[in-house]
Amino acid sequence: MSEQRALPRTLSVELRLQQPGLDIRAQFRVLPGRVCALVGRSGSGKSALLKAAAGLEPARGGRIALGNETVYDSTSGLNKQPHERRLTLLDARTHLFPHFNVRANLRYGAKGLGLIRPGPKFDEIVNWLDLSSLLNRRPEGLTTSQRVRVALGRALLSGPNALLLDDPLGDVPAHEQEVLLELLAEIPGHFKLPVVLVSPRMNEVIRLADEVVILHEGRMASAGPAAQILSDVSLSTFLEGVHAGSVLEGQVKRHDVEWLLSEIDVSGQRVTVPALLHAVGSKVRLKIRARDVNLHRDPPSDTSCSNHLRGRITQIMLAGEHGTYGAVGIELDRALDADSMQIKAASPLWAMLTRKSIQSMGWAPGQPCVVSFKAMATTVSAWR
C-alpha cells in the first residue's frame, strides 16, 4: 500500500477540557506509524480528549499540532474546523451513513465530497479489509465486525492526518475481536499514521501500543513506553480489572513440538511458555502477574517452574491497601547474543512478596537474584 501522498506528520496534543465534575488535562505526542494508548477507568476523560482533539467538542485551552502546522492554539485563538484538522474518529458504534451502501460509505471522504485527496487506493483497502462482497449492501444489514471494517476503510480512505480510535472493538463479540485486532495492528506500519487508541481491554493495549498514557480523574497519572508503563505495579490503582504485573518484550526463538512449548528470548534470556502460533522471529509481549513471580538467591534445583531468569533488585516498596505486602522491582540481566534484538528500555519485572518473606531473606536493592515463574503463569500476545 505504497502510494505517493503527503508525508505523515507527528501529532502533538496538549489539551485542557472542562467536563461536568471533571477537569481534564493531558499532553501526548504520537509519531507517524506509532500507537499511543490512553488508558484509565471509565469517566477519566479519554473519549472527551479524542473528541476535543478532532475539533468536535470545545477545549478550554492548549495546543494541537500536526508536524509544524498548528491546528488549535488557545493563546493565539487559532481553532481549525474538524474537516481542516482531519483527525478521523472511529468508535464502537461505527456511525456508518445509513442512507449509503458500503461503497458510498467508503468513498465518502475521498470522492463523495468532490475533493481529490491523496490517500490509499480504494481497491487495496477493499481487499485488505475483505469488503468486496459487501460493497452493494446497506449498513443496516451488516454484522458489527463488518461495520467496524467498513468504518475503518472509510476512515483510512479519507486520507486522514491521524486516526483516533475510541474503543473501536467495543461492540464486537469477543470471538471476532482477534481478527480485527490483527487488522488494527497492521495500520501503523502500512499507513504510517499517528494512531491514538482508547480501549478498556488491556490485551488490545498490550498488542497495539507503543506508548501508554494513563489518565486518572482527568489527569495524567503516568506516561511512557508501553512495556515500562504497563509493568508499573501501581497501575492497578488506576485501572479496573488489571492485576499488577509486568509486560516483557521478546522474540520467539524456537518451538518445541514434542512438548508443545515455545521459547522466547527476553533480553538474551530464555523464557518457556505454552506453545504459540506466532512464527519464529516474531515479536511478542509477555504478561506476568507480580504475584506469580518467585525470588531466589540461587537457581532452584527442585522446582516445577521452567523459567529462571537472572536479575538484580532495583527497588522494594510497600504495596497493598495498608502496606500489607511488598513489591520488589527487578531489572533482568542482559545476556545479548550477537543476533538477539536490542531492547531499548529494560522494563522492570515485579514480584509481589509478603513483608515477612522480604525480611527473612534479607532482600535489599542492588542484590543479584534469580526470578522464577511457571510457563503456565504467562500470557503471550503478538506485538506488531
Partner 1 sequence: MSSFEIEALLLSLQVALITLLISTPLALVLATLMARTRWHGKIVLDTLILLPMGLPPAVIGFGLLLTLSGDGSLGHWLHARTGFHLDFYPEGAVIAACLMTVPLMVRVLRPAFEATDPMLLPIARTLGASRWQGWWSISLPLVWPAVASAMALGLAAAWGESGATLVLAAALRPHHVGDTTAPVALVQALLNQENGDAAAARLAMISLGIALTAVVISEVGRRRWRRRWQARLRPVGLPSQTP
| Those residues with Cβ within 8 angstroms of residue 277's Cβ, 6 or more apart along the chain or in another chain | none
Strands of the 325-332 sheet, one edge to the other? 294-296, 368-373, 307-319, 325-332, 349-354
Binding site for partner 1 (CB under 8 A): 51, 54-56, 81-83, 85-89, 91, 93, 95, 97-99, 108-109, 112-113, 115, 117, 137, 140-144, 147, 154-155, 158-160, 164, 171, 173
As measured in angstroms, the least distance from the Cβ of 95 to partner 1 is 5
Closest to 383 measured CA to CA, from 231, 254, 247, 292: 247
As measured in angstroms, the least distance from the Cβ of 188 to partner 1 is 19
Closest to 92 measured CA to CA, from 224, 214, 199: 199
Strand partners, 319: 325
Nearer to partner 1, 54 or 371 (CB): 54
Strand partners, 86: none
DSSP β-ladder status, 261-266 and 269-274 = antiparallel
CA 370 from centre of chain? 29
Nearer to partner 1, 89 or 221 (CB): 89
Nearer to partner 1, 56 or 317 (CB): 56
| Those residues with Cβ within 8 angstroms of residue 260's Cβ, 6 or more apart along the chain or in another chain | 274, 275
Reported as type and span, the H/E element at residue 30 is strand 22-30
As measured in angstroms, the least distance from the Cβ of 98 to partner 1 is 5
Nearer to partner 1, 91 or 263 (CB): 91
As measured in angstroms, the least distance from the Cβ of 22 to partner 1 is 19
Nearer to partner 1, 158 or 347 (CB): 158
User: Residue 168 and residue 177: Cα distance in Å, rounded?
Assistant: 10
DSSP string, 225-267: EHHHHHT-TTHHHHSSS---EEEEEEEEEEEETTTTEEEEEET
As measured in angstroms, the least distance from the Cβ of 94 to partner 1 is 8
Nearer to partner 1, 177 or 307 (CB): 177
As measured in angstroms, the least distance from the Cβ of 56 to partner 1 is 5
| Those residues with Cβ within 8 angstroms of residue 377's Cβ, 6 or more apart along the chain or in another chain | 288, 289, 292
As measured in angstroms, the least distance from the Cβ of 207 to partner 1 is 23
As measured in angstroms, the least distance from the Cβ of 297 to partner 1 is 55
Nearer to partner 1, 114 or 362 (CB): 114
Nearer to partner 1, 168 or 329 (CB): 168
User: Residue 315 and residue 350: Cα distance in Å, rounded?
Assistant: 10
- Whose cell is 463523495? That residue is 112
